[in-house]
Amino acid sequence: MYKILTEASGSMTAAYLIKAVQSAGCLAVASDIDENCAGRFLADDFLVMPAVHDPQLWEKITKALLAAHINVVIPSLDETLLAWAQQKERFRELGIYVMLSEPDTVRRFQDKWLAYNFFREIGVPTPATGLEQKYPLVKPRHGRGSQGIKITDNPIDMDGMISQELIEGEEYTVDVFCDRDAAPVYIIPRRRIAVKEGKSTGGQTVYNKEIIMWIRKICREIPFLGPVNFQCFVCADGSVRFIEINPRIAGGMALGFAASENWVKLMIHHFIQGEAIIPKPVQYGLEMRRYYAEVFIPSS
């Protein structure tokens, strides 16, 4: 039985991934810097993670993974995503599979300026973007969710920031699963109905031919492996503008899983056991709503 480590288990969206691991017939090992986070009490086991700025971060992580007999890691924390990708081969030699795209892919899309230039180079529609404060929307080059995003005409320090034109339209997130040949097996657009702190709390799967066409083009130009998260806007005229790509599993992918199949099981069967993927029909029109839930911990 595989022991699978998930990250950031104290986040609002962590529970779905822990449940998906367990539903796949594997042992879920949650992890977080907070030893009392809710995910600890939902999973089969738990690891306290060192802070991302710890000078011995990777020595400690490696020691913890080996001691806990972890077989698989599904990274989701942006701060350590590139380092996980860079060490995939080292961990593989230790018997640990890291489910993530290659370092060059991760590096490009963790930097929104590099992502913008990539979109422009291959002809993918994207909002005009600059390193100077040329447009009203300002956000960090390296950031996640809605953190650090501002709409302002007031001068601000643009060090480490980009500015971007405002796009009017409906926001979509697209759950994508790519196989070992980097071919997209699932492309599942979902309309974002409700968002809190950059995380999807409500959505609906929608068949959108335009979005699917552009994502197939992107995937032909650069390789992705496993789960990937695309973000875009659909304008009133039906045209699409791509904003960013997160080359990792994402909090809202619970809807993509429900509309197709358990992607954790898919990762195990395909990437580790070498089985071919036979895609299931995608359930379009499926809606998801999220709510807070409680974990009760008996007194020790």
Residues of the chain with CATH 3.40.50.20: 3-100
C-alpha to C-alpha distance for 14 and 213, rounded to whole angstroms:
30
3-100 CATH choice from 2.30.30.60, 3.40.50.970, 3.40.50.20, 3.40.50.720: 3.40.50.20
- Taking domain 170-289, whether its CATH number is 3.30.565.10 is answered by no
Which residue in 261, 262, 211 sits closest to 234, CA to CA?
Answer: 211
Residue 281: Cβ-neighbour burial (10 angstroms; 0-12, 13-18, 19+)? exposed
Structure tokens at 297: 């911990």
Please give the biggest Cα pair distance in the chain.
60
Residues of the chain with CATH 3.30.470.20: 170-289
DSSP 49: P
What torsion do the CA atoms of 119, 233, 247, 278 make, to the nearest 10 degrees?
Answer: -110
Q: Give the residue ranges of the chain where pLDDT is below 50.
A: none
Is-contact 277 186, C-beta < 8 A? Answer: no
C-alpha to C-alpha distance for 97 and 64, rounded to whole angstroms:
15
How crowded is the C-beta side of 255, counted as CA atoms within 13 Å?
A: 30
What pLDDT score was predicted for residue 25? 98
What pLDDT score was predicted for residue 200? 79
Q: Which residues make Cβ contacts (< 8 Å) with residue 26, sequence separation at least 6?
A: 1, 2, 3, 4, 72, 264, 268
Is-contact 137 149, C-beta < 8 A? Answer: yes
Global pTM reads 0.96
Kindly state the helix (H) or strand (E) to which residue 156 belongs, with its residue range: none
Which residue in 231, 80, 87 sits closest to 142, CA to CA?
Answer: 80
